[in-house]
Amino acid sequence: MIHGIQSQGVGASLKHYAANNQETDRLRVSADDDERTLREIYLAGFERAVTQARPWTVMCAYNKVNGTYASQNARLLTTILRDEWGFDGLVVSDWGAVHDRAVSGAGR
């Protein structure tokens, strides 16, 4: 789908990164997962889409991942997404997903 959209000169946005698996209380819930669960279940699809289809943007989730909001999670947004997977596009937030602009903007 990403390839198809972007073949028309329109940027695709991959969302909601990451561990966004519930709607109830999604603005405050923390998806607390060990490394293996996070990598094999929650991040595997994102990794494939980012490394193979190269979306123009990735939208962070509302929720926390292991106690840190996705929009402020340097490990998810910088270490994994950018450093490991080579994402060089734009990371955007969903409406109201940013809780601390200074912390959220501290990444690259």
The catalytic site residues sit at 94
CB distance 76 to 42 below 8 Å: no
In this structure, is the dihedral angle defined by the CA atoms of residues 40, 55, 60 and 107, taken in order, positive or negative?
positive
| Structure token pair of residue 62 | 């509302």
Q: Is the peptide bond before 16 cis (omega within 30 degrees of 0)?
A: yes
CB distance 39 to 5 below 8 Å: no
| Structure token pair of residue 54 | 């190269």
CB distance 17 to 46 below 8 Å: yes
